Amino acid sequence: MASALKVASWNVKHFRGEPIRFNRVVAFLAAQNPDVFAIYEVTGSSVYRLIRNNMPGYSISITEGEQSQEILVGAKNNLEPFFTQRPDFRSGVDALRPGALVTVTAGGAEYSLLFLHNKSGTAPRDLGLRDDMIRKALKLRGALDKAAVGNKPANYVFVGDLNTMGMKYRYLRSQDIDAGEEIEKLAKFAKGRKMRLLTKDAANTWFGSGTTYPPADLDQVIAAKHLQFKSFPAVDPEGNAFNAAVSVLGWPKLSGQQRSAWIRSHSDHGLLYFEIQ
């Protein structure tokens, strides 16, 4: 089955556009040939200009505001992209990132892609802010359905560094929520809006090489249930084979010294790649 849309989503840690790292990041991103891509943790307006100049054929947009890190979105010009910054996803906190919503047309159909970089941290307030951002992203499904042509469900996906890291309640440990429970909750909420959490071919998407923190599954893709995706062969931690809808590229495909070197030269997050069919 042919792919209607190829999408890449990547948190490039503290991306300031340093020449050597910039060239590596752009080369890796361009090698995936995405129709639409998002980069998170962009710092400084120079990255916008550099991406625009080094990735011809793409319409480039970037969020703006009081936050120190932005979301940069690129979409191929032939997709007639329409970009909207969504400040409501700050959840009333000016320092947080707004959502980046881009609508494109491919194969005669419209696709709405929402890119998010949610609040990090394991304090109760952090989890509460993430829950509010997720609630807004799921609620947007209803608005898009109402605006869709011909009473068909909207072709809607939201994706990004959702920072699904759980919660630690310092006063009562029995109330702690681990990362897996937060992800299960996300999947349950998505199901209630006729959406689904997509499977990935890697157990974790973030790894701070050289730190005491273990690898974590922070980056997620949630899609309208009717959408179909290309399958990627995968194996779960128990050794069982399955087909994943999202491939996590970069360090998760490497090991040992190569893995550590990739993290240092590119990012501590893997790149999420998926194809809508």
Digit-by-digit pLDDT tens for the chain (277 residues) are 778 999 999 999 999 999 999 999 999 999 999 999 999 999 977 899 999 999 999 999 999 988 789 999 999 999 999 999 999 998 888 888 899 999 999 999 999 999 999 999 999 999 999 999 999 999 999 999 999 877 889 999 999 999 999 999 877 667 899 999 999 999 999 999 999 999 999 999 999 877 778 999 999 999 999 999 999 999 998 999 999 999 999 999 999 999 999 999 999 999 999 999 9
Task: Check residue 229 and report its DSSP letter.
Answer: B
- First-to-final CA distance of the chain: 7
- Residue from 11, 37, 1 nearest 274 by CA: 37
Contacts of 5 (CB under 8 A, 6+ apart): 35, 36, 104, 106, 111, 275, 276
Where does the chain have alpha helices with state H? 19-31, 45-54, 124-147, 179-192, 256-265
Query: Rounded to a whole number, what is the largest CA-CA distance in the chain?
Result: 54
Strands 58-62 and 70-76: antiparallel
- pLDDT value of residue 65: 82
- pLDDT value of residue 180: 96
- pLDDT value of residue 173: 66
Contacts of 59 (CB under 8 A, 6+ apart): 74, 75, 76, 77, 81, 83
- pLDDT value of residue 83: 97
Are the C-beta atoms of 17 and 50 separated by less than 8 Å? yes
Residue 83's DSSP bridge partners are: 102
- pLDDT value of residue 149: 78
- pLDDT value of residue 169: 84
Helix 45-54 / helix 19-31 crossing angle, nearest 10 deg: 50
Topology given in CATH for the domain delimited by 5-276: Deoxyribonuclease I; Chain A (3.60.10)
- Residue from 6, 7, 5, 11 nearest 217 by CA: 11
Report the C-alpha gap between 159 and 115 in whole angstroms. Answer: 5
Where does 148-201 have alpha helices with state H? 179-192
| H or E element that contains 228 | none
Structural tokens at position 64:
């703006």
Task: Check residue 128 and report its DSSP letter.
Answer: H
Report the C-alpha gap between 79 and 102 in whole angstroms. Answer: 11
